[in-house]
Amino acid sequence: MKMINLLIALRFGLIFGLSFALGNLAFATDGGATEYSFSDRERGQQILTADDNYMNRMSAAEIAIRTSSVTADKTVQDLKKLYQASVLDWSKAEIAHITALVSANKKKLTSLQHLLPAEVTFIKVNDKVEGGLPHTRANAIILPLSGGPLTEKLFYHELFHVLSRHQLDKHHSLYGLLGFKPCDYRGNDEVNAKSLTNPDVPAAGYYLPVTLDGQASAIMTYLHAARAAFDPTIEKGFGGHFGFGLLKVKTDDGKCIVDTDAEGKAQLLNPAATADFFAAIGRNTSYIIHPEEVLAENFVFVMMGKKDLPNPEVMERLKTWLFQPILK
């Protein structure tokens, strides 16, 4: 299997040697730095079709939407076939651009070395994968590039998801920065049938304690399919098929269950009308569909030195979580 490798000396921010070969660009390192690579089609296909907690928890509705099927009769195998056919080869220009971007950020990336996996790989796909939205799987950043070259902002957003997945055992403290607590969540039939799987979000449940109508309660972020299958008449395409709200849940002894109304229906709350939600996550970003995404945006602000945020304390808490271990 061929793979174009980009190895960058991140631990000390030094480049010890530079070697060139046909189709290969490598920076020699001290052996401990993260390797940034460009996956070829074969390796990209293996990652995109892997039986992980993205592929293994999809509803019929979201499979239909992802495969552009007007009927909800497609299977995960159909989705895998689509993804397998959607992996593309990198061009020399694209490799050069991303190589330069990563190299320009090597000093910043050095400070994250204790949190990153040994390798981060880039996979190029067409717009049929996740509707052309950049995302991650395993240690891979998956890019359609239809919207233009990779930017520093997008790179850091997606890198956070790779970092977060690699630090899965620290999610309780990570999401705790926003007030979220872990629970063993089991949705009911109504909720599960509409649930939408975000490839960047772990399968584990996290809830936020809130006060609703003067009573102690709890909510979970809930991304859901707004259609039972793909509707080609929707102007917003892939993204227009999804909805978001805050799912009211009951918590007991570490477990979360759907808190239904008098008719046995799930209760979905408007985030804008739930003050405790924004009190917890802040208003630094409008990308609020999950604490993972809120943190990914605040990670971008940390790495790019963003100023004048509405809630700088959220960014500061994340900064402490990221860098405190290496300050000891």
Q: What is the pLDDT of residue 19?
A: 29
Out of 166, 192, 223, a domain closes at 166
* Band of residue 325 on the pLDDT scale cut at 50, 70, 90: low
Proportion of the chain above pLDDT 70, given as a percent: 89
Contact in structure between 144 and 127 (CB atoms under 8 Å) = yes
Q: What is the pLDDT of residue 203?
A: 78
Burial letters for 170-203: b for 16+ Cβ neighbours within 10 Å, e otherwise? ebeebbbbbbbbebebebeeebebbbbbbbbbbe
Residue 273 has pLDDT above 80, yes or no: yes
Proportion of the chain above pLDDT 90, given as a percent: 83
Same domain, 98 and 84: yes
Same domain, 264 and 251: yes
Same domain, 259 and 238: yes
Digit-coded pLDDT (tens) for 46-85: 999 999 999 999 999 999 999 999 999 999 999 999 999 9
Out of 166, 188, 215, a domain closes at 166
Q: What is the pLDDT of residue 3?
A: 41
Residue 13 has pLDDT above 70, yes or no: no
* Band of residue 29 on the pLDDT scale cut at 50, 70, 90: very low
Out of 166, 181, 199, a domain closes at 166
Residue 146 has pLDDT above 90, yes or no: no
Same domain, 313 and 180: yes
Same domain, 181 and 100: no
Same domain, 9 and 72: yes
CA distance 179 to 195: 23
Q: Which residues pair with 257 in a beta bridge?
A: 250
Residue 62 burial (CB < 10 Å; 0-12/13-18/19+)?
A: buried
Residue 145 has pLDDT above 60, yes or no: yes
Torsion region of 130: left, alpha or beta (phi above 0 gives left; psi -120 to 50 gives alpha): left
Same domain, 206 and 241: yes
Q: What is the pLDDT of residue 163?
A: 98
Q: What is the pLDDT of residue 8?
A: 34
Q: What is the pLDDT of residue 31?
A: 38
Hey, what are 284's tokens?
């630094």
Same domain, 177 and 271: yes
Q: What is the pLDDT of residue 54?
A: 94
Same domain, 162 and 179: no
Please provide residue 190's backbone torsions phi and psi, each rounded to the nearest 5 degrees: -60, -50
Question: What is the mean pLDDT of the segment spanning 109-116?
Answer: 94
Digit-coded pLDDT (tens) for 219-260: 999 999 989 999 999 988 888 999 999 999 999 999 999 999
Residue 284 has pLDDT above 70, yes or no: yes
CA distance 223 to 158: 19
Same domain, 305 and 179: yes
CA distance 210 to 277: 7
Digit-coded pLDDT (tens) for 150-203: 999 999 999 999 999 999 999 999 999 999 999 999 899 999 999 999 999 987
Same domain, 194 and 321: yes
Contact in structure between 29 and 109 (CB atoms under 8 Å) = no
Structural domains in the chain (count):
2
Instruction: Give the residue numbers spanning the domain of 260.
Output: 170-327
* Nearest by Cα to 3 from 24, 20, 29: 24
Same domain, 77 and 115: yes
Q: What is the pLDDT of residue 32?
A: 57
Q: What is the pLDDT of residue 147?
A: 80
